[in-house]
Amino acid sequence: MRGPALAALARADRRAGRLLRARAARHPAAAQAARLAAAALSPGVRGAVAVLVLAPASRRTGLRGLGAGVAAALLARALRDRIGRRRPGDREEGGFPSRHAAAAVAVTLAVLPHAPRAGRALAAATVVAVPARVLSGDHDPADLLAGAALGAAVGRALAALPLPRAGGVRSAA
């Protein structure tokens, strides 16, 4: 980050992350729950997408969610590598924007209009697990906000794309 204003924002973000982790540490059960939620985010979203893809009735929605998640994660990774903002703690790799937040939000928003029940379940899991990644020490708040914003853009874009029907090109009628 460059410039005094951005540097001040980065310092404030780091302080906010440290404060949230310190408060969570005062409540070991809550801290453990946050670590479990953070760890379950990626496998949970992947599992939900797999279920959607494997069921013939929801395959197109699952593929839409899969595409959104992969696109958001790849974009977040490219940005993260370019920006180079380190994660909290001793981890060397970048964390801004969060790939997990980007992918989870993108999948949720791509699925929600086409499979509302699955989308609401994904939304609930995302709302719990994404902030937990601050408490688990994986990210600071800005990492997650940037990842979620990126994921929202990708998810909404892919939710709006028309998909071709199986076996051919979508007709104009």
Question: What is the rounded distance in angstroms from the CA atom of residue 10 to the CA atom of residue 2?
Answer: 10
The pTM (predicted TM-score) of the whole model is 0.85
Collapse the DSSP code of 94 into the 3-class scheme (helix H, G, I; strand E, B; otherwise coil) and give the result. Answer: strand
Could you report the per-residue pLDDT of 75-104, keeping only the tens digit for each?
A: 999 999 998 888 887 777 888 899 999 999
Min mean pLDDT across 6-15, 22-31, 160-169 is at 160-169
Question: What is the rounded distance in angstroms from the CA atom of residue 84 to the CA atom of residue 97?
Answer: 10
Could you report the per-residue pLDDT of 118-136, keeping only the tens digit for each?
A: 999 999 999 988 888 888 8
Share of the chain above pLDDT 70, in %: 92
Question: What is the rounded distance in angstroms from the CA atom of residue 40 to the CA atom of residue 44?
Answer: 6
Return the sign of the alpha-carbon dihedral for residues 15, 45, 79, 64: negative
pLDDT at 103: 95
Q: Which residue has the tokens 């028309």?
A: 162
For residue 88, give both structure tokens: 């909290």
Query: What is the pLDDT averaged over residues 37-57?
Result: 92
pLDDT at 144: 92
Asked if pLDDT for residue 167 goes beyond 60, the answer is no
